[in-house]
Each structure stands twice: as structure tokens, then as C-alpha cells.
Amino acid sequence: MSITDYLSSLTQVTDQKEEHILAQALEIGLRQMWREEMLARYLRGDISREEAIELVGIEWVGLADEQVDAVLEDIHWALKQ
């Protein structure tokens, strides 16, 4: 589906005006972009875990930690004899 299709479908299903849906989409998109950037800074070591938790919440930091642990476990296994 294209962006226009999503917009058209959402206006029909939610019975809301396009402007309202676009405003919501912008807010949700910006929140997500902010979160991803903060998590990227955390993973690069630019900010501490505590700072990251304060910025995006423990659930997202925990998920990022779990992803890193998974990759490190995989590599440890993969590089064995």
C-alpha cells in the first residue's frame, strides 16, 4: 500500500479528517525517530544506560540490550572451533 492509500483508508476507518491523521502521524513518526536516535547514541556509547533509560524508558533500552546480547552470543558461538 502507498502512503496515500494508508491515509485514505485511515480517514475512512477512523472517521477523522486527513489533517488530524497527518498531525498524529507526524507526532508518532517524530517520537519513533527520536527514540531510535537515542538508542543509537546509547549503543555507540555516546550516552550512559541511565541517560538512555531517562530519555526513552527502560523497556526500549532493555530491548536494545537484548538485541546486543543476542548478537554477541551468536558471534561467540559462530567463532568457536
Which part of the chain contacts another protein (CB under 8 A), choosing from 2-10, 11-19, 21-29, 70-78?
70-78
- CA 48, 51, 56, 59 dihedral sign is positive
Q: Which window, 11-19, 26-34, 51-59, 64-72, contacts another protein (CB under 8 A)?
A: 64-72
Of 1-9, 15-23, 47-55, 71-79, the segment contacting another protein by CB under 8 A is 71-79
Binding mask 5-44 for another protein (x = CB under 8 A): -------------------------------x--xx--xx
Residue 68 · residue 43 · CB < 8 Å: yes
Q: What is the DSSP string of 30-42?
A: HHHHHHHHHHHHH
Residue 59 is placed in which grid cell?
523497556
